[in-house]
Chains A and B, each alone.
Chain A
Amino acid sequence: MMDRDTAIRIFKALSDASRLNIISALQNGEAYGELLAERLGLSASTLSFHMKKLEEAGLVSSRKEQYYTVYTLNGSLTKLRLSDLICGGSPAAEDEAQRREEEYRQKVLKAFFEGDTLRSIPVQRKKKLICYQHIARLFEPGRVYEEKELSDIIASVHEDYCTIRRDMISEGILTRENGKYVRIK
Chain B
Amino acid sequence: MKEFIESLKAENAALNKKAAALRAENKADEAVFATVRANVYDICATVCGVKMKTGDIEGFGAMLDRFEGEWGASLQAAEKQDNAKKICVEQTKLEALADVRARFAAARGE
Contacts and interface: CB of A to CB of B under 8 A. Distances in A.
Sorted nearest first, the 6 A-B pairs with minimum C-beta distance are A52-B84, A49-B88, A17-B26, A123-B77, A45-B91, A170-B32
Given A170-B35, A170-B36, A124 B83 contact: yes
A100 interface: no
Contacts of B36: 166, 170
B84 A53 contact: yes
A95 interface: no
Interface in B19-67: 25-30, 32-33, 35-36, 39, 43
Q: Which applies to chain B's interface (DSSP): helix, strand, loop or mixed?
A: helix
B29 A17 contact: no
Interface of B: 25-30, 32-33, 35-36, 39, 43, 74, 77-78, 81, 83-89, 91-92
B88 A16 contact: no
Contacts of A125: 83, 85-86
Contact of A166 (B30, B33, B39, B83): B39
Given A49-B87, A123-B83, A170-B89, 18 more contacts: A16-B27, A16-B28, A17-B26, A17-B27, A18-B30, A46-B88, A49-B84, A49-B85, A49-B88, A50-B29, A53-B84, A123-B74, A123-B77, A123-B81, A123-B86, A124-B81, A166-B36, A170-B35
B78 A49 contact: no
Given A125-B86, A166-B39, A170-B36, A49 B29 contact: yes
Interface in A1-55: 15-18, 42, 45-46, 48-50, 52-53
Contacts of A15: 26, 28
B35 A45 contact: no
A63 B98 CA distance: 32
A55 B89 CA distance: 19
Q: Which of B36, B74, B84, B85: most chain A CB closer than 10 A? A: B84
9 contacts: A15-B28, A16-B27, A17-B26, A45-B91, A46-B33, A49-B84, A125-B85, A125-B86, A170-B36
Contacts of A52: 84
Nearest to B78: A123
B96 to A, nearest CB: 12
A117 B36 CA distance: 26
Contacts of B33: 46
A155 B74 CA distance: 21
A50 B88 CA distance: 10
Interface string A41-74: 0100110111011000000000000000000000
